[in-house]
Amino acid sequence: MPDRRSPARRLRPVLLLAPLVVLPLLLDSFSLYQATMILIYVTAIIGLDIVFGRAGVLSVAQAVFIGIGAYTAAWMSRTTTVSIGVELIAAAVIAGLAAILVGLPALRVSGLRLAILTFAFVELFQWVVTTFASITGGTQGLLVNPGGFGTVTTADPLVGYGLAAVIALLATWLVIRLQRNPIGRSMAAVKNSNLLAESAGVSTVRTKLTAFMLSGMLGGLAGVVLAHVSGSVTPAGFTVFSSLNLLVALILGGTGRVHGAWLGAAYVVLMPELFARLGIPNAYPIVNGAVLMLLLVVMPGGIAGVLDGIRDRVRRSGAAPPPPLTPVPERSSS
């Protein structure tokens, strides 16, 4: 199809990408670390959004996939000399397969019961990591050797940032592709109702497993970068609370919207810091909970939903009102 987008719309990606390139040059090292964390969160949250926001399956297993990616990277960085590219591929494959496994119960149960089943996988992951301590380091965790390509390694924070940015952009590209694509439509149908999906010929089984697999792969990729940027992995980083934190970020930012994940990621990384600077770090969880409850009631579309609403209102002010059913004129055959 020809590209019918206006020049302004074609410029938009450039305008959005420019800050990503310029930012690291301006930031001090702590802010660079935070920017990197935001980008890692973006990838992980987009993964969660595919399963929850797009396919409508409530899962608290996202932290497991990040954990699988992180442990894969940690273990490979210590026992092999492969490039970080190999770690990323391995993590995406393993986490993707694990996600299909986690998704299997989704074929029989749904809603809260399914969420509880995905919770069981988080517990299973915790049990495996603490039990097989000779490989995973148990509760102590593992130190992660810097990874990279040849001499370019994550020992340099800029490399970690660049990697996180590239993967976050890849995830964003993926979810944009999904949106206007038969797979995205199938997911929307499954989210709406199994009845609608199946009566359109959409296999709910395949669609849900696809959503889980993609979310797992993105989680795994995020985990690899997280491991290298933070320099160590411990099971405490991948609990059900980590998953819930991602879920809060997604709902706050706005589910089913590309920029929702970005806004949510920025929120969960920057807010605790803000409270720490104000000298009231303990207030964060309380305020966070209150804000979430408030948002769910007042703005269920999240921050992105509010922004979209304003944009739509501006656009619609010039648009024609919706028509009722009208007769169709006879068409002359051409």
Partner 1 sequence: MATDQAGRPPAVLEVRDVRVTVNGVRALGGVSFDVPEGSLFGLIGPNGAGKTTIMNVISAVITPQQGSVRFRGEELTGTGTVARVRAGILRSFQQVRLLEGMSVLDNLLLGRERFRVVGLLRQIGGSRTGRRQARRDLAVVEEVAAVLGLSDLLHRDVQDLPFGVRRLVDVGRAFAAEPDLLLLDEPAAGLDVTSRRLLLEAIKRAQSTTGATVMLVEHDVDMVRRACGESVVLSNGEVLARGTPAEVLADPAVLRAYFGRSDA
**Contact positions toward partner 1, by CB under 8 A?**
1, 174, 177-178, 180-183, 185-186, 188-189, 192-193, 195-196, 198-203, 210, 256, 322-328, 331
φ/ψ of residue 109, rounded to 5: -120, 165
CB of 324 to partner 1, least distance (A): 6
Query: What does the alpha-carbon distance between residue 128 and residue 138 come to, in Å, rounded to a whole number?
Result: 9
Rank residues 291 and 299 by Cβ distance to partner 1 and give the closer one: 299
In angstroms, give the least distance from the CB of 131 to partner 1: 34
CA distances 81 to 8, 19, 228, Å, are 45, 33, 14
Distance in Å, CB of 333 to partner 1, minimum? 11
Which of these, 221, 237, 233, 228, lies nearest to 93 by C-alpha position? 221
| Min CB(144)–partner 1 separation in Å | 30
Phi/psi at 323 (5° precision): -85, 155
173 neighbors 47 (Cβ within 8 angstroms): no
Q: How far is the CB of 216 from partner 1 (least distance, A)?
A: 14
What whole-number distance in Å separates Cα of residue 270 and Cα of residue 260? 15
Angle between helices 204-230 and 84-103 (to 10 degrees): 140
10 or 177: CB nearest partner 1: 177
Element (H, E) at 85: helix 84-103
* Closer residue to partner 1 in complex, CB, 210/245: 210
154 three-state secondary structure: coil
Residue number with CB closer to partner 1 (6 or 282): 6
CB neighbour class for 314 (10 Å; exposed up to 12, middle 13-18, buried from 19): exposed
Q: How far is the CB of 276 from partner 1 (least distance, A)?
A: 38
Residue 89 beta carbon to partner 1: minimum distance, rounded to whole angstroms? 14
Please spell the DSSP secondary structure of 172-193, one letter per residue: HHHHHHHHTSHHHHHHHHHHH-
Q: Which two tokens stand for residue 126?
A: 């915790």
Residue 332: CB minimum distance to partner 1, A? 12
Judged by beta carbon, residue 80 or residue 181, the one nearer partner 1 is 181
b/e map 52-90, b = 16+ CB within 10 Å: bbbbbbbbbbbbbbbbbbbbbbbbbbeeeeeebeebbeb
Of the pair 150, 329, the CB lying nearest partner 1 is at 329
Rank residues 80 and 193 by Cβ distance to partner 1 and give the closer one: 193
The smaller minimum CB distance to partner 1, of residues 90 and 214, is found at: 214
